[in-house]
């Protein structure tokens, strides 16, 4: 009887524990970004506000102040000079940076689904069902982390290629090309109206239905469920994440704005309209950039 009461108390606290864990994970991710994510410069120093970020990268003086490389002020360095190839260590740091950004930006919008899984699991355990078919919440959440890591591997590799081609500034980590900026903005805006975006957003906005359709027992089933839902969530926002190559991979203003947009699309009642309005604004922004 005492064991049953202890289990009931633990189950009642389970939702709070999961919510607190997600909040702590997101907070730690933001702290890591604020301290520079190991990239050698503070995130505040990399943050610039501009409608046309490529102008900052092309400017002979970017206001980077105390940031130096080999004794040269980054503001005095020629932005269009060829960037050196990344070392394996640099690539790994970039992967860690992108992975951390994904956690910081995506955890809030993934929280309702993770909390729903925890609630279903808590209810099933409370009804005395076989615990062997109910994997821990961490196994389900690990599915999201796998998807975010896969995206981070691709994003870091793309960043290295863009910096090597000088399309992205190696110092500001933002676009150094008008046409790259315009192309990414317009493509991201058009994607907001695509059938794939609509499909992915629909799946992300209906966690209960998704859970009932795709539930599988055991740890493998929970991990599969997390990966599948994580893939739909990534399908919603991968084009928006590409906008960081325009505004700056470590630009806190862009990171925060995109995190709010992704969360609004998925959680607000008018989320689909938010996505469409954002798409129209991005297309207009991209067209304006072609003349900037």
pLDDT in tens, 234-257: 999 999 999 999 998 888 889 889
* Bridge partners, residue 72, by sequence: 69
pTM: predicted TM-score of the whole model, two decimal places? 0.82
Whether 86 and 97 have beta carbons less than 8 Å apart is answered as: no
Helices 218-241/178-191 angle, 10° precision: 130
Query: What is the average per-residue pLDDT within 113-130?
Result: 76
Distance CA(221)–CA(223), nearest Å, equals 5
Query: What is the average per-residue pLDDT within 166-178?
Result: 89
At residue 264, the pLDDT reads: 93
Query: What is the average per-residue pLDDT within 96-112?
Result: 88
Q: Is the dihedral of CA 223, 227, 232, 238 positive or negative?
A: positive
Q: What pLDDT band is residue 83 in, cutting at 50, 70 and 90? A: low
Residues with Cβ within 8 Å of 58's Cβ and at least 6 positions away in sequence, in order, are 79, 80, 176
Burial 116-145 (b: 16+ CB within 10 A, else e): ebbbebbeebeeeeeeeebbebebbbbbbb
Whether 174 and 53 have beta carbons less than 8 Å apart is answered as: yes
Q: Taking 50 as the threshold, does the pLDDT of residue 79 lie above it?
A: no
């Amino acid at each position: 009887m005492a064991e049953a009461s202890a289990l009931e108390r633990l189950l009642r606290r389970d939702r709070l524990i999961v919510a607190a864990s997600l909040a702590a994970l997101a907070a730690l991710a933001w702290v890591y970004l604020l301290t520079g994510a190991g990239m050698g410069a503070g995130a505040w120093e990399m943050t610039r506000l501009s409608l046309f970020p490529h102008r900052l990268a092309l400017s002979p003086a970017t206001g980077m102040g105390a940031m130096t490389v080999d004794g040269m002020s980054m503001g005095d360095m020629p932005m269009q000079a060829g960037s050196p190839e990344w070392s394996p260590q640099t690539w790994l740091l970039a992967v860690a940076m992108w992975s951390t950004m994904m956690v910081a930006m995506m955890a809030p919008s993934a929280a309702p689904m993770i909390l729903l899984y925890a609630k279903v699991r808590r209810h099933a355990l409370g009804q005395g069902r076989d615990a062997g078919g109910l994997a821990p919440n961490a196994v389900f959440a690990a599915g999201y982390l796998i998807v975010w890591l896969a995206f981070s591997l691709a994003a870091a590799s793309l960043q290295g290629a863009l910096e090597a081609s000088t399309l992205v500034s190696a110092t500001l980590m933002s676009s150094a090309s008008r046409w790259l900026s315009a192309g990414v903005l317009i493509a991201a805006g058009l994607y907001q109206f695509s059938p794939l975006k609509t499909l992915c957003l629909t799946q992300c906005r209906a966690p209960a239905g998704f859970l009932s359709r795709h539930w599988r027992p055991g740890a493998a089933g929970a991990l599969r469920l997390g990966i599948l839902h994580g893939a739909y969530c990534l399908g919603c926002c991968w084009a928006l994440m590409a906008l960081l190559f325009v505004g700056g991979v470590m630009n806190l203003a862009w990171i925060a704005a995109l995190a709010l947009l992704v969360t609004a699309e998925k959680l607000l009642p008018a989320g689909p309209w938010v996505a469409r309005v954002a798409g129209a604004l991005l297309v207009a922004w991209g067209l304006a950039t072609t003349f900037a």
